[in-house]
Structures are given as structure tokens and as C-alpha cells.
């Protein structure tokens, strides 16, 4: 039965360019959408630029342009970058559109009618020179808890959280002026009135990954839900609230409504009804987002949808962050790479494939290690997939394909059968598993060509029929791989279609071989990626950061007084899972700072006898190295070693606490011996 699917990605903020961290989500979504279309489902992929907020207003002022000019330029740049990475939207809109304004008013009226809106005065910091209220990230000062200077408006580097009004000697980052307290009226949505509905939705629906549901139940739904501040006073770039002059809908109110507005634009252009997509039990709604905006999409947004009478999400697919060589993306190290800079140095196909090998259904960060990137691309795509076609392609142009499919020892049949498992993996967003299954097929297919040696057959006139059979088998096995990889590598699927004269449009094409047709002239499909190109990319990114040190890529997620939390979201485990963890007593033989790292200490641990382990522990804010030397600690001894840019970490030291300076390494009685198991 054909499914009808509405798919969205989080709306990119219109204050800066797309970078490779953003692309994790859009590539993940595009792969899923392409797969759904390939298997015959009706799938609509909508997105839009998120255009409102203080950051846009301030940037426009600094550049001497209107906000509309700024967001128009960024929309063009965003859509260009997405297209360059093969990401195809059915509609790409803007939250600063008539469609979105109209729908915001509709949602707002439903909240008013449900008696969910209240108002009260709020004291905020105000910049007397810039003449604007200051969001958290536009204020810096001294932490009121530990005295650390030059800290952000809502948290310090030692892990303390606070309100911007609590900062000591605050300064506006917009003008350098000392902000003053000023009172204004804010409008709030009383989320607690929706508590029962939200708790039931989180607990009973299949819309959320288990770790997300547990996170929401443990951190938010176990207590009374705070009122959601839904407005901002003038001056503010956004939509003025019709029944509250001088107040504007907060960017996080109109941003998710942008999903519906973008759908509305598509419907109007294609003579369809919005209600068939957002008010129908026949349509599945799938959101793809990063874990940093979980709260908004799993509490605020379902509450808004329910109140306004729109369909609730069928599934919210949440992914982790991107790290580079084991560390956070950083402008100073050149790992904060824009999409445009990446494209100057290497092929977007490589990034699509690498991300696919890393993406799973779980909320996990994924690491882009340059060495691993080079190895996966060159080994898998060039050495296995493309190699299968290139070794026979130059012969097949002259031979064509055999009239009947030759005996291949069951290779084609086995690959056709494997298509069901690969499809299941794509459907579950387990792209990592799908790529493994596909590469297993490539591993099985390549020996066929290697053993047949078509390059030798070409020299023998008596073996041309045999050569045609080998080409027929090899190219059909390659075509199966290209079909299975089509959601990830659409360009390769296009090249395969051009070579064999049949465009790849359906998953079921993998079940039937092509025979008796001519073969086009073989064109080189993919080159090996060179690590030198990636290193040059990093150097160029570093140089760009030095030329433009201001962080132009503003994260609107900090433009909020909402209770965003950084606690890890964990999945429940059983006692059987826990007993796999080998906890051992270890003595700290040496401890030292890691100059390139902000949070890590490098520990040398003894597990008794001659056994030594090197471990990197994120406890720098809590301990001086000399205070740890000689101490007994508990370590996870059977943790898989992790290659970091500072070296190999061969375990984990156990600790507890909220983070920052408040981390406490578990203490062990001095009578314990290194290597002793902890029960």
C-alpha cells in the first residue's frame, strides 16, 4: 500500500551560511526521502529559512541593509549549498511569508480560544545605545557563582547556569554599553494546562526514540511545566501580534509553523489541499531535527498542533552532533567548514556516503575523522563499487549485454533477496547498517570479475561471447549496488542509468537484470579522495576564520529564556547490559594537561603489574593534575579504545556530578589494589 509522507528538516537560521555540521541533518533527511520515493511512496519534503529574531535585526543594522535584503541573500545561498550537495526539497520557503503570517494568526487564535495565553511583566537587560532588549548571547560578564570573567549570558565555562540579570558587571556585545534593567509585558503559553496530553503523547506514541521519551519524562514531565515566553517587545524583526500591539511572536513560535506554511505554498502551486497533508490520518508527518532543539519539537510543537487541530508528528527523528577528528567543530582549528569551502576541495558525494556510514536510529554524535573519511571513500566507493563497473565498462561498450542473463553462481539472486533487509534499514534510518549490507554485496561481486579476468578475454577473439557474459554479470551486479545506493548517491545512480540506458527510478529494478541492450561509453565515475585536499580544506577554513573572527553563524537556540538542558539523554538498559561493563580499580601514575583541549586531562593509569592505560578524562575544570597523582580511581577497563586527535584513550574514569567544576571522581578505599574488579 502506498504511503503518503510529509517530511521536514529543521529550518536553517538566516544569519549565516550552511556548514558541514548542518549538512548531517539535511543529508540524513534527503536520503530517507529519496528512499521513500524510490520504493513508490508519495513523499513531500518541505523546508524554509528561519528568518526572524534579534540576530537578523542587528546584522541588518550593522550592514546598513534591510532585514528583507539580508534574508533574501541568505535564502539564495542556502538553497545553492543544498542543491550542490544533492539535497532536493519539494518546496523551500521562508518564515517571513504571507503564508506563515496567516498560519501564525490561526495558531495564535486557537491558543487564545483554549485560554492558554497569559501575560505578565518581565525585567530584561536593555542596551541603551543599541536601543534593544538583549538576548542571553548578546550579554557577557562575570559569573555570579564562581567569579569567572567574560562569560556568556546564561552559563559559564565552569558549568554554572544563571539569568543574564544575575551577571556581575554585564556588558552588551552589540555596543559595549552597560545594559540597564527595563520592564516590558510578555505573553506566555501555559504549557502546564497541556501537561496531561503531552505526558500521554510522550508515553504512548511511537513518535519518539526511547532515549528521548525517557529524557522528557525524567527532566520535564516529572515536574510542573513552565510557562513558555512566546513574545518579544519592539524593536524586533518578526510578525507583530495582532491583538498585542508592540509585541512580536518569538522566533520559536513562528519557526515550526513554517513547516505548515511551506506545505501550504506547495499545495497552492500544485492544486492540492493543505488539510490532506496536515489534517489527515492518511498522511504521516516526519520531522528530522538535532538533539539541541528536542524540547521545542517534542513539547511546545505538539502542544501547538493539538490546540490548533493539526496532525501530530508520526515520528520525530533526532540525531546527534558532528565532531571532527574527535573534537568539536572549531573555527580556530579550521574544522568549522562551510559547505562552500568543502566544495572547493572535494566531492559532495563523498560526504553523503561517509555520513550514511555513520548514521543510526539512535541519538548519537558522529565523528568525521579525516583518515577514516579517506579510507571509507577510497576503499568502499572507489575500490569496491565503482571498480566493479570500471573493470568491464571499457569492454562492454563494444560487446553490449548478453541476450539472456548468464550463470553467476547465484550472485544476482542473492543481491535481489538482500534488497528487503537493506530497505528495512533505510526505513529505520539505520543507514550505517544499510551501507554495511551493500558493501557485503560489493565484496561478493568483485571476486567474480577478478577470477574471470576480462582483460585477458579481450585479447582472445574466440572468447568474445564469454567476455560479453562477464560484462553482463558485472554490470548488472553494479547496477544493483547503484540502485541500493541511489538514496545516498543519486549522482552515481544517474551515471549508472546513462551507462546502461535505463534510468534508475524504482527499488524493484534491482530484482530484474538488464539483458540484450547496448552499453554506453564508460565515463570515469569517481576519483580517489586525497587527504592533502582535506588538509587544505581545513587550512582554508582556518584562514577564513582569521579573516572574519566574528561568529556570523548565530545559533538562535540561545536566543531564549527557555529551560534548555544539557543533561545527556540515556536509553534504559538491563542488568545484562550493565554486567558487561568491567569496572576495575586503577592508580593514577601521572596526570597532565592537554594543551589543545579545554576540558581534558591526560591520565596514565596502572591496573597492577605492568599493565598501563592512557585515558583522556573531561575533568580539567574540577582537578589540578597534581591532585590526582597517586589516587585510586574506578575505570571502565573493557571500553573500546577511542582514537582522539590528542592520542588513543584506552578506557574511561568514572565520575559523577552535573559537570564543569562540579565533577567528582569516584573515590576508592586505599586498601583496594590496582586491577581489582569493582562489584
List binding-site positions for ATP. 331
User: What are the Cα distances from residue 385, in Å, to 429, 562, 678?
Assistant: 22, 48, 48
Identify the burial level of 195 via C-beta atoms within 10 angstroms of its C-beta, where 0-12 means exposed, 13-18 middle and 19 or more buried: middle
Contact 177, 140 (CB under 8 A): no
DSSP 92: E
Q: Is the peptide bond before 235 cis (omega within 30 degrees of 0)?
A: yes
Chain-centre distance of CA 196, in angstroms?
A: 30
Q: Which residues are annotated as a binding site?
A: 331
Strands (E), 341-401: 366-368
Number of other CB atoms surrounding residue 365 within 10 Å: 13
How far apart are the C-alpha atoms of 193 and 303, rounded to whole Å? 10
Contact 239, 52 (CB under 8 A): yes
Pairing of strands 283-290, 4-9: parallel
User: What are the Cα distances from residue 177, in Å, to 164, 317, 569?
Assistant: 15, 42, 39
Identify the burial level of 450 via C-beta atoms within 10 angstroms of its C-beta, where 0-12 means exposed, 13-18 middle and 19 or more buried: exposed
User: What are the Cα distances from residue 415, in Å, to 31, 444, 512?
Assistant: 21, 9, 11
How far apart are the C-alpha atoms of 21 and 338, rounded to whole Å? 9
Q: What is the largest CA-CA distance in the chain?
A: 92
Please enumerate in sequence order all residues whose Cβ is within 8 A of that of 348, keeping only pairs 6 or more positions apart, or say none.
Answer: 84, 85, 86, 342
Residue 185 DSSP SS3 = strand
How far apart are the C-alpha atoms of 198 and 298, rounded to whole Å? 9
Residue 179: HSE in the Cβ half-sphere, 13 Å Cα cutoff: 31
How far apart are the C-alpha atoms of 411 and 347, rounded to whole Å? 31
DSSP 591-644: EEE-TT-SS-EEEEEE-STT-EEEEEES-TTT--HHHHTT-EEEEETTSPPEEE
Contact 100, 257 (CB under 8 A): yes
Query: Which uninterrupted H or E stretch holds 411?
Result: helix 411-427
How far apart are the C-alpha atoms of 284 and 315, rounded to whole Å? 8
How far apart are the C-alpha atoms of 445 and 468, rounded to whole Å? 17
Amino acid at each position: 500500500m502506498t504511503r503518503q509522507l510529509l517530511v521536514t528538516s529543521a529550518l536553517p537560521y538566516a544569519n549565516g551560511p550552511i556548514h558541514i555540521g548542518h549538512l548531517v541533518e539535511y543529508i540524513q533527511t534527503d536520503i530517507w526521502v529519496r528512499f521513500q520515493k524510490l520504493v513508490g511512496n508519495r513523499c513531500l519534503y518541505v523546508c524554509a529559512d528561519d528568518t526572524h529574531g534579534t540576530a537578523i535585526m542587528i546584522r541588518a543594522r550593522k550592514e546598513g541593509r534591510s532585514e528583507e535584503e539580508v534574508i533574501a541573500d541568505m535564502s539564495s545561498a542556502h538553497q545553492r549549498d543544498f542543491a550542490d550537495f544533492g539535497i532536493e526539497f519539494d518546496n523551500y520557503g521562508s518564515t517571513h511569508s504571507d503564508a506563515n503570517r496567516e498560519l501564525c494568526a490561526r495558531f495564535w487564535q486557537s491558543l487564545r480560544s483554549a485560554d492558554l495565553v497569559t501575560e505578565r511583566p518581565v525585567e530584561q537587560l536593555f542596551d541603551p545605545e543599541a536601543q534593544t532588549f538583549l538576548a542571553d548571547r548578546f550579554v557577557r560578564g562575570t559569573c555570579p557563582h564562581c567569579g569567572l570573567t567574560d562569560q556568556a549570558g546564561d552559563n559559564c565555562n565552569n558549568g554554572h547556569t544563571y539569568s543574564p540579570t544575575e551577571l556581575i558587571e554585564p556588558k552588551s556585545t552589540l555596543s559595549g554599553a552597560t545594559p540597564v534593567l527595563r520592564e516590558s509585558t510578555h505573553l506566555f503559553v501555559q504549557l502546564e494546562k497541556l501537561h496531561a496530553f503531552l505526558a500521554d503523547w510522550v508515553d504512548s506514541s511511537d513518535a519518539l526514540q526511547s532515549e528521548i521519551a525517557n529524557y522528557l519524562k525524567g527532566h520535564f514531565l516529572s515536574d510542573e511545566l513552565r510557562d513558555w515566553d512566546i513574545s518579544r517587545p519592539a524593536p524586533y524583526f518578526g510578525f507583530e501580534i495582532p491583538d498585542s500591539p508592540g509585541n512580536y511572536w518569538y522566533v520559536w513560535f513562528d519557526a515550526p509553523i513554517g513547516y505548515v506554511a511551506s506545505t501550504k505554498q506547495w499545495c497552492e502551486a500544485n492544486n492540492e489541499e493543505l488539510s490532506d497533508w496536515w489534517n489527515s490520518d492518511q498522511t504521516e508527518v516526519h520531522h528530522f531535527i538535532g538533539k539541541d532543539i528536542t524540547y521545542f519539537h517534542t513539547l511546545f510543537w505538539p502542544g501547538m498542533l493539538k490546540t490548533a487541530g493539526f496532525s501530530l508528528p508520526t515520528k520525530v527523528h533526532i540525531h546527534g552532533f558532528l565532531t571532527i577528528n574527535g573534537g568539536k567543530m572549531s573555527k580556530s582549528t579550521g574544522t568549522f567548514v562551510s559547505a562552500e569551502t568543502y566544495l572547493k576541495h572535494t566531492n559532495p558525494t563523498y560526504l553523503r556516503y561517509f555520513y550514511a556510514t555513520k548514521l543510526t536510529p539512535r541519538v548519537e554524535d558522529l565523528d568525521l575523522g579525516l583518515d577514516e573519511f579517506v579510507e571509507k571513500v577510497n576503499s568502499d566507493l572507489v575500490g569496491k563499487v565503482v571498480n566493479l563497473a570500471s573493470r568491464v565498462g571499457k569492454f562492454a561498450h563494444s560487446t553490449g549485454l548478453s541476450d539472456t542473463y548468464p550463470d553467476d553462481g547465484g550472485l544476482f539472486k542473492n543481491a535481489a533477496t538482500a534488497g528487503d533487509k537493506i530497505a528495512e534499514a533505510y526505513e529505520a534510518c539505520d543507514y550505517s547498517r544499510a551501507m554495511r549490507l551493500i558493501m557485503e554485496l560489493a565484496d561478493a561481486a568483485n571476486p567474480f570479475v577478478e577470477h574471470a579476468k576480462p582483460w585477458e578475454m579481450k585479447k582472445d577473439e574466440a572468447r568474445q561471447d564469454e567476455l560479453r557474459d562477464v560484462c553482463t554479470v558485472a554490470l548488472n551486479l553494479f547496477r544493483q549496488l547503484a540502485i541500493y545506493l541511489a538514496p545516498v548517491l543519486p549522482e552515481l545512480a544517474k551515471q549508472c542509468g546513462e551507462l546502461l540506458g535505463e534510468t534508475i527510478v524504482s527499488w524493484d529494478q534491482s530484482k530484474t537484470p538488464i539483458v540484450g541492450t547496448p552499453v554506453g561509453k564508460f565515463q570515469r565515475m569517481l576519483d580517489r579522495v586525497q587527504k592533502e585536499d582535506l588538509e587544505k580544506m581545513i587550512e582554508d577554513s582556518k584562514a577564513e576564520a582569521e579573516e572574519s573572527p566574528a561568529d556570523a553563524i548565530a545559533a538562535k537556540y540561545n536566543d531564549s529564556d527557555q529551560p534548555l538542558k544539557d543533561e545527556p539523554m540515556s536509553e534504559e538498559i538491563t542488568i545484562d547490559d550493565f554486567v558487561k561493563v568491567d569496572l576495575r580499580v586503577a592508580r593514577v601514575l601521572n596526570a597532565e594537561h592537554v594543551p589543545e583541549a579545554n576540558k581534558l586531562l591526560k591520565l596514565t593509569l596502572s591496573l597492577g603489574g605492568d599493565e598501563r592505560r592512557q585515558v583522556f578524562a573531561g575533568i580539567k575544570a574540577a582537578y589540578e593534575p597534581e591532585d590526582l597523582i597517586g589516587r585510586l580511581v574506578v575505570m571502565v577497563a573493557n571500553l573500546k579504545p577511542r582514537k582522539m586527535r590528542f592520542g588513543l584513550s584506552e578506557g574511561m574514569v568514572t565520575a559523577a556530578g552535573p559537570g564543569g567544576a562540579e565533577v567528582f571522581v569516584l573515590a576508592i578505599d586505599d586498601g583496594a589494589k590496582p586491577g581489582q574488579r569493582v562489584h
